[in-house]
Amino acid sequence: MKRVIIVEDETAAAVNLKSMLATVVGDVEVVALLESVEESVEFFRGGVDADVVFMDIHLADGDSFRIFRSVDINIPIIFTTAYDQYALEAFKVNSIDYLLKPFKEEDLRRAIDKLARLTNSERKVQRESVDKMIAEVQSESLQTMLVRYKDKIIPVSMDDVAFFYTYAERVTLTTLSGESYPVDKTLEALSQQLSESKFFRANRQFIVSRRAVKDIAVWFGSRLALNLTIETPERIIISKARVPEFKQWLQSVHHS
């Protein structure tokens, strides 16, 4: 194993991994050091030859699983992650190689040795396992979303979400208890993934949860103004054209 690609947005972690690889493997060429989903997609689209990819799950512009939606990567992958029970369970179920940060030289050596022993057919099976796991994680994300909080990644149940809000191309998730976290999805993408019975796209700025709706006021021009159980960054107005759809949604969910 001589040629490696590192997908990692933390400089210290990348430097540490390169140092460990030099110790464990010896003469290693780092073909590329990629720091984001966008950069990785661009790189892998160009076609590349390497022996292994070390890929951090959580990158600055989203989770690395998004890379696989845009490109096929036929190089063996060893995922790296800080403690993240959500993803680790998926790895274990599908027998995917991963390194749990902070990992030691013996952990790296074990993963590399395992990779070296894989036959071509076993590598193909592992690639199919990665595809399967990503599909599972993505479908699971309809129920749970991973968000960054300080130096941690935490799962937030969609049952605990009050609303999603976008401003200046940034999306935040706010829980029923008032905690806010940045989200790496657009409201358009969220609209397609969230339960239609639990969430409603109120306007261009908000997706609201039925659990958070406190009351509704009639607003100017036959529009509606929503009041939620917690404070919102701005008033939530539902246009006249969307009022019938909103009323139907609210009635159906409250009687379901």
Identify the domain boundary among 113, 140, 167. Answer: 140
CATH of the domain at 249: 2.40.50.1020
The pLDDT tens digits of the residues spanning 73-132 come to: 888 888 888 765 556 666 665 567 788 888 899 999 998 888 888 777 877 777 787 777
Q: Which two tokens stand for residue 116?
A: 């070296």
Q: Can you tell me which residue has the tokens 């540490």?
A: 16
Kindly state the DSSP code that residue 72 receives in the 8-state scheme.
-
Give the structural domain span for 108: 3-140
Identify the domain boundary among 114, 140, 166. Answer: 140
pLDDT of residue 94: 58
Contact yes or no for 180/172 (Cβ under 8 A)? yes
Q: Which two tokens stand for residue 1?
A: 């194993």
Same domain for 28 and 152, yes or no, is no
| Top-confidence residue, 187 or 176 | 176
Kindly state the DSSP code that residue 103 receives in the 8-state scheme.
P
Same domain for 136 and 46, yes or no, is yes
pLDDT of residue 255: 44
Residues 6+ apart with CB under 8 A from 89: none
Across the strands, what pairs with 183? 171
Lowest mean pLDDT among 147-156, 185-194, 225-234: 185-194
Domain count, the chain: 2
137 pLDDT more than 70: no
35 pLDDT more than 80: yes
